[in-house]
Chain A
Amino acid sequence: MKDMSYNAVMGRRAEIIKSAVGMDYSRFESGSIAFDYEGMMKATGLDINEVRRIQESFAIGHTPLIELKNITALARKMAPKGKGARIFIKDEACNPSGSFKARRAATSIYTAREMGYKGAIAATSGNYGAAVASICAMAGLKCIIVQECYDSKYIGQPEIIEKARKCEAFGAEVVQLSVGPELFYETLRMLEDTGYFNASLYTPYGIIGVETLGYEIAEQFRARFGKDPDAVVCTNAGGGNLTGTARGLRKAGCSAKVIAASVNLSGLHMASDTQFNKKSFTTGHTGFGVPFSTWPDRSDVPRSAARPLRYMDRYVTVAQGEVFYMTEMLASLEGLERGPAGDTSLAAAFSVAQEMDEDQCIVVQETEYTGAGKHVNPQLAFARKNGIDIHFGDPAEEVPGKSIILPAHPSLIKARDFNIEHMRHSLIKNAVASVDHAPTEEDIRFLAEEVQRDAAYVKAVLAGLKK
């Protein structure tokens, strides 16, 4: 009988993952820090047209691009004269499972079926679970979604409980766990037991599925306005949303700047049982966004296809109170009930638009469905019940885990720049620490690509690390 202890199962991690994703990652490795990222993406054998064909077969994509005229008008009232870019939103909630994650799941599950897997497993508490379950329903595959859902008092985040319901509606089995990173251990156990496909968020199949989102934005914009948008804002957590969208924009030759936006949850520990229900966002926050940007390979596959620092031009954070406020504003001024988590990038765009000229355009690249539990009212009510102080004031003073400060006036909504230079340094530092020798020339070239800088930049950072 196999040893099922934590250490034994984690020790079998490499072989379990290899047979569960049908991809041998070792062939992209250099034996050092560097690996062949583009080679890994190409190994999917799917180009953008093929991905679109697959997604169309699941009724995914071609979502509306909506101009938020009233929100733009409001932003202009706060902005200096001549400022206030037009704000657009890509209504990804129109996908079958209610979010852009349908794109990410489609290519994964399509591939799993082609490879002959009978089912798929995904470890996720977010919209991705519903997406995998929805596509598995269409593809005739069995599906298990593993969620981190409850604290040790059996109190669950309402947003996550709603996503469990949605997965079950699509016929999936939902396994719910208490707080902790051993979610991965339990997932490995089930992968080994069932022989199902690991529909990880971070395989190349998942990320190339998101490329169509960026590609569509460029196409839709050009068809309507004969030009590219000036900026695209992506809510950033594990990095796949931004990576895929930016790759799609690049494939379309689109010149838009790519801005990452996360909810600021600094100070909260993501694996803490007692802090689990003190946060009001379970994704799209800095607790994932920062560590996954500065060390992408912390994911559940040997090499993550989501590498956001390669693509982001700017990283901003917003407060929880600002995102809830924007979610209510979206309903009140545009008649759209969406989010809240997906509205992180909308809150950022509302502020960034005020720095841009009136004739410029900024795109919020996603919305997500809303429902019982997963809505601004239950999420705020849950926070209040957990002792979080909710009041109007200046969101800059919000303390994650203690307060949610709704802006007393919309002019107080401010995207705050996160130090991207610091993140580049962190990534290089983490990469160097992952090997026991000095970086090779190939490593330096690779790291330069990882942080969108040149070899001289990487060498200067390395020299600084030695001091």
Chain B
Amino acid sequence: MAKKGDWVLTHNIILTPQQRAPQVPEDTHGVPLEMWVKGHLTADAEIGDEVEIITRTGRHVRGKLLEVNPRYTHDYGEFVPELLEIGDTVRGILFGGDDK
């Protein structure tokens, strides 16, 4: 249950596949244009409900409630060992050292 005033993420369909711009490529034409916006809930609601939010600029936007206090999930990703090799190679060429 999300409370009025909670900071939430909402989802909306802006254009259905039929409404999309004529110039979009075929694969894009097969899917809707979607939108994600964050804001404060104007009334208590459940996840999945159609809700209204007030965004940081004060706009009233309607959409489906996805998440309360949405978190950032991006990070530095799975380690890429090739990067160590790049560092070793360029240092080896420039500064010499252990058999490089």
Chain A residues within CB distance 8 Å of chain B:
5-6, 70, 73-74, 77, 119, 142-144, 149-150, 152, 158, 161-162, 165, 168, 171-182, 185-186, 190, 193-194, 269, 271-275, 325, 328-329, 331-333, 372-373, 375-382, 384-385, 390-392, 406, 409-410
Contact = CB atoms under 8 A, between A and B. Distances in A.
A193 B59 contact: yes
A152 B27 CA distance: 10
Nearest to B34: A178
A372 B24 contact: no
A196 to B, nearest CB: 8
A372 B75 contact: yes
B77 interface: yes
Contacts of A380: 77, 80, 82-83
Contacts of B97: none
Given A329-B90, A373-B75, A392 B85 contact: yes
Interface in B19-74: 19-21, 23-25, 27-28, 30-39, 55-59, 72-74
Contact of A378 (B23, B59, B75, B85): B75
Contacts of A372: 72, 74-76
9 shortest interchain CB distances as A-B pairs: A381-B77, A373-B74, A378-B77, A332-B87, A152-B31, A178-B34, A328-B86, A173-B56, A176-B36
Q: Chain B interface residue count: which class?
A: 35 or more
A377 B80 contact: yes
Interface string B85-96: 111011101100
B90 A269 contact: no
B90 A194 contact: no
B99 interface: no
B97 to A, nearest CB: 13
A70 B93 CA distance: 11
A420 to B, nearest CB: 27
13 contacts: A142-B56, A150-B36, A152-B34, A165-B74, A176-B37, A182-B15, A182-B20, A194-B57, A377-B76, A380-B77, A380-B83, A384-B80, A410-B89
B35 A180 contact: no
A212 B37 CA distance: 35
Question: Quick one: which of A152, A165, A375 has the most chain B CB within 10 A?
Answer: A152
B35 A177 contact: yes
Given A176-B35, A377-B79, A384-B78, A181 B24 contact: yes
B90 A74 contact: yes
B54 to A, nearest CB: 10
A129 to B, nearest CB: 14
B56 A171 contact: yes
